[in-house]
Amino acid sequence: MSEIKIRKIDETRASDARIPNQPFKIWGRMIPGLDHGKWNYKIEKLKQTTEDCFPDEPYDVAKDDAIFLGAYDGNTCIGLAVLRKEMFRYLYLNDLKVNRDYRDHGVGGMLIKTCMDEAKKLGMQGVYTIGQDINLSACLFYLRHGFEIGGFNNRNYRGTPQEKSADIYFYRDIKND
């Protein structure tokens, strides 16, 4: 692995925004709680570890109203962050993924730092994202990288095959950086 560099993806490298999703382990669940206005959480470990994989996204750099950030090993895109402006003062981290061979090497943290830099440049409050409660590794990743739990939604998946899942909202403010 050479030095990883983060850079914006523009139309000249549009295909880099379509790096495929790869499986992740489902080994537990994050259970958030709200106690006197402060969020906390418990971890429920599963008896059996399984894998899941999100469907690939058909991103179109030319048409999507988003900021695409790529993590590059040489000329190969090995990670992606997709930011969208929302009506509030936070950029929404719509997608964050790192090639399996590069996980646990700091690439995700580099992408998060660049996301925070983008939010600061745009005069935003910070960045928020959503993690599924069953994607415990992702939830713990966000907490390790300075995000705090700021909300919970256990209704999004009703009527779907993932009906037992819930979304946890994570926020990171610029002022805390």
- Structure confidence at residue 2 (pLDDT): 80
- Strands annotated E in the chain: 4-8, 24-35, 38-52, 67-73, 76-85, 90-98, 126-132, 148-153, 167-173
What local confidence, expressed as pLDDT, does residue 1 receive? 65
CATH value at residue 51: 3.40.630.30
* Per-residue model confidence (pLDDT) at position 152: 97
Low-confidence ranges of the chain (pLDDT < 50): none
pTM of the entire structure? Answer: 0.94
Buried b (16+ CB within 10 A) or exposed e, 144-169: ebbbebeebeeeeeeeeeeeeebbbb
Kindly report the average pLDDT of the chain as a whole number: 96
Number of domains the chain contains: 1
Print the domain residue range for 136: 4-176
Q: State the pLDDT at residue 27.
A: 98
User: How many C-beta atoms lie closer than 10 Å to residue 72's C-beta?
Assistant: 19
DSSP assignment letter at 105: T
